[in-house]
Amino acid sequence: MKPPLPSSSSAVLRKARLSPYLFTLLAFIVFVALLYGEDFMCIFGQLEPIPGRPISRPVKKREKLPFAAGKTEEGCDVFSGRWVPDELTRPHYEESECPYIQPQLTCQEHGRPDREYQKWRWQPHGCDLPSFNATLMLESLRGKRMMFVGDSLNRGQYVSMICLLHRLLPEDGKSMKTYNNDALTVFRAKDYNATIEFYWAPFLLESNSDNAVVHRISDRIVRKGSINKHGKHWKGVDILVFNTYLWWMTGLEMKILKGSFEDEEKEIMVVSTEDAYRMAMRTLLRWVRKNMDRKKTRVFFTSMSPTHAKSIDWGGEPGENCYNQTTLIEDPNYWGSDSRKSIMKVIGEVFSKSKFPITFLNITQLSSYRKDAHTSIYKKQWNPLTPEQLANPVSYADCVHWCLPGLQDTWNELLFAKLFYP
C-alpha cells in the first residue's frame, strides 16, 4: 500500500521551515556584493578601483592615459632585448652640439679616445622601439611642464632629454636658468610655452643632503614623511619622472629622523635600508595620489641605475672596474653585485598597490650590460688628482655616471615609448 501523499498544507509548512535558510543565504550574497562589488568589477574588468565610482556604473575598458597616441604591440616588453651596433642612426646628437651637458658627462671633451659607446641601439625582443620624435614631444609639451626629480643620475637623463629636443628650437627661443639655490633647473622652450625642469631631491624626502651643490655627506639622515618640503615645487607639473636609489646605498641600515632637523634634541631611529626605502615609496605614492590628476598628468619612476665597480662580477680581473672597458657584457642574465634585488622587490611590492597609474621605467637590466658607457676618468675632476691617483686610474674612475651622448638617450627613448604608446 502506497504511503499517503502529503497534504498541501504540510508542503507549505515544509517550505516555510526552509525559508529562513534561503533568506539568510540571499542576505549574505547581497551583503558580499555590496561590500566587494567594486573589487569584483576590478578583477573581471581588469581595472584598478577608482575611489568614489558608483557601483552601478558599467565596467569600461582600461582608461586611456594622458598623452597616449597609440599602444605598444601586444606582448611587447620594450625593456627586454639586446644591444645592436648602429652607426647609421646613433648617436642622436654630437656632444659638441649640446651646450647643456655638464662637464662631468662630456667624455669626448675630457679625452676619451673611443666613440663606440655612442653607437649602440636597444632592440627589444620580437618588436621595435618607437623612434624618438622630437617634434611630437615638443608639440605635446606645448603649454605644459615636464620635470625630472631625483639625484644626479636623473639629472643626466634630464640633460639627455634637452639635448634630444633643443636643436628644433631657435637660439632666441630657448633658455636655461637655475633657482632655489640651484635645486631647480628650468629649460624653457619659449615658442611652445613649455618647460623641462630638474629638481634636486636625492631621497625625494627631506634629508641632510638636500643642498644641490654641497651634499657630500657620509652620515646621511632622512626625515620621515617629509615629502612636502620638496613636493610643493612639483605641484602643477604635467609629466613627472622620479628616481631615487643610489643615495640609499650607504650600507644595510639607514637613519630616519622622526622630528625636525631644527629640533635641538633629535629623535633618530635606525632601520634596514629596505624598510627605509619602503617608507619613502609609500610616502611618494600618497603624495602622487593627493596632488596629481590622473586625467591630465603622467607619473614615471625610473628603476635603479647599475654601477660597474667590480670587474670580477663579469669575469674580469680582480681589482679592476669600468676603467678602460669598451665592450658590452654579453651574458643576458648578468646582474651586478652592486644592484640590490631587495630594493627592486620593495618597488614592485609598493607600486603594485598604487591607486594612481605610475609607469615604471625598468632600465636596470639593459643598463647592466653597458660597462663601456660610464664616464670613468673622462670627466671634469673637481679636486686635483694626487700622484697616486694618476698612477692608478682605476682608483678614481667614475663607474656610476654615464657619458652623453650615450646610454641615457636610450632611457629617454623608452620614456617616449611609454608616454605615447603605453
CA distances from 211 to 183, 202, 269, 297 (A): 7, 10, 23, 28
Instruction: Find the DSSP H helices in 352-406.
Output: 364-368, 387-391
- Give the H or E element holding residue 124: strand 120-124
Contact between 414 and 360 under an 8 Å Cβ cutoff? The reply is no
Give dist(CA 344, CA 364) in Å, integer: 9
> What is the maximal distance between C-alpha atoms in the chain?
118
In whole angstroms, give the CA distance from residue 297 to residue 284. 16
Task: State the Cα angle at 74 between 69 and 77, rounded to 5°.
Answer: 90
Kindly report the CA angle at 233 between 219 and 300, in degrees rounded to 5?
A: 80
Catalytic-role residue among 160, 305, 401, 409 = 401
**Dihedral angle sign, alpha carbons of residues 335, 91, 247, 244:** negative
Q: Rounded to an integer, what distance in angstroms lies between the CA atom of residue 313 and that of residue 311?
A: 5
Taking the C-alpha atoms of residue 286 and residue 280, their distance in angstroms, rounded to an integer, is 10
Q: SS3 for 84?
A: strand
398 belongs to the catalytic site: yes
Q: Which of 92, 140, 151, 152 is catalytic?
A: 152
Q: State the angle between helix axes of 407-420 and 152-165 in degrees (0 to 180), rounded to the nearest 10.
A: 70
- Is 152 catalytic? The answer is yes
Nearest-angstrom CA–CA distance, 375 and 378 = 6
How far, in whole angstroms, is CA 293 from its chain's centroid?
18
Q: Helix count (H) and strand count (E) of the chain? A: 9, 14
Grid cell at residue 214: 654641497
- Eight-class DSSP state of 414: H
User: In angstroms, what CA-CA distances link 280 with 12, 155, 202, 230, 241?
Assistant: 65, 20, 11, 13, 16
Residue 287 has φ and ψ, to the nearest 5°, of -65, -45
Which residues are designated catalytic?
152, 398, 401
